[in-house]
Structure 1
Amino acid sequence: MAAESPLAFHHRSEVVLPVEPERLFTHLDDHRRLSSHMEKPSLMTAGASMRIDTDAGHGQSVGSVIRMSGRVLGVRLGLEEVVTEHAPPQRKVWETVGEPTLLVIGAYRMGFSIEPFTGGSRLVVFIDYARPGRGLARLLGGLVGRYYAAWCTRRMAEDARAAFPGPIRGPAPSAR
């Protein structure tokens, strides 16, 4: 059996927003705002929430560090991410450092890209991820990892839509 490549799984969510790319990038560049769905209990987090901390760079420059920690179902979770690309107003990417302690996904690379679109911007939020390394988490990852990845990218895209409401011009959002 061939070995699974490190970040073998992918999901993306896309939305068209009535806001110029510069303003949208500035809004999304606040990592606490971008990841706010992780700080609120939800069904996808089994009612748990994660605490988000950033270094002095606030997750807004290459090399800046973001940490998340919390508990779900009595299990301590945690991860550290580092910003690997920061190209306002087009693209931002961050990825986990080391092996994150999560239940349904393992290491990941995540980010967003923004391109001008008639009357606004097209936002694509993506995640490339691996299943957790072993044990129950690996089994859970195989069962629900893709649903969690889809939920996460969709939440980020929909939170951006909520921040910039208005008529959407162009194609409807897609998920892949």
Structure 2
Amino acid sequence: MKTKSQTMLIHSTPEKVFAQMDDFSKTGMHMNESSTMMMGSKLTLEQLSSNPTGLGARYRWYGKMMGMIIDLSETVTKWQPPRFKEWETIGEAKIIIISWYRMWFEITAAENGTHVKLSISYLPPRQWFYKILSFFFASLYCNWCLGNMLTDTKKNLENKE
């Protein structure tokens, strides 16, 4: 299993940062928009649980990238506002360069705002072709994803205050 982490100082309160990052439609904005990293594709987000946030909240991401199906579901496994949230893929995830992942963020108050550490641990796919793709692209993709999630949160909150 590999783990990637990024940290950022966001000039806002821990409560506002947690609320922003707790909303999958906001932290996953980079997945809903066409981008180079997604090869021009974008994914659709569907809420599966009755509760949009909190322990047990479930979501599904699906779409295609270069003709290959991407379809995965996530569930929140730990939820401690405004300090910590963890979620992971459940069931059989159809992801091109990763077979399973767990993500989490840790929030701590800082002198000029809030310090956020966002992390992902992941496993490579089982099939040899996708393992090769994972070897070359998984780390790059994970860093892109983490960076977008943190930057989007920072932009959304700091532009409002």
Q: Give me the TM-score of the superposition, normalised by structure 1.
A: 0.86
Within 5 Å, give how 1:150-161 maps onto structure 2: 150-161=143-154
Task: Give how far 1:72 is off.
Answer: 0.7
SS of residue matched to 1:99 = strand
Query: Does the 8 Å contact 1:44/1:148 carry over to 2?
Result: yes
Task: Give how far 1:95 is off.
Answer: 0.3
- In structure 1, C-alpha distance between the alignment counterparts of 2:6 and 2:24, rounded to whole Å: 18
Q: Residues 138-171 of structure 1, C-alpha deviation per residue, up to 9 Å, x if partnerless? A: 21001111000111111101111111337xxxxx
1:139 aligns with 2:123: no
- In structure 1, C-alpha distance between the alignment counterparts of 2:156 and 2:125, rounded to whole Å: 33
Runs (4 or more) in structure 1 with deviation over 4 Å come to none
Higher strand content, 1 or 2: 2
1:120 to 106, 113, 116: 113
Q: Residues 1-47 of structure 1, C-alpha deviation per residue, up to 9 Å, x if partnerless? A: xxxxxxx1111111001101011111111111111110111111111
How high is the sequence identity, in percent, across the aligned residues?
A: 27
Q: What value does the CA root-mean-square deviation take over the aligned residues?
A: 1.2
Number of the residue aligned with 1:16 = 9
Number of the residue aligned with 1:82 = 75
- In structure 2, C-alpha distance between the alignment counterparts of 1:20 and 1:165, rounded to whole Å: 10
1:107 aligns with 2:100: yes
Task: Give how far 1:136 is off.
Answer: 2.0
Unmatched 5+ stretches in structure 2: none
- In structure 1, C-alpha distance between the alignment counterparts of 2:8 and 2:17, rounded to whole Å: 12
Unmatched 5+ stretches in structure 1: 1-7, 167-176
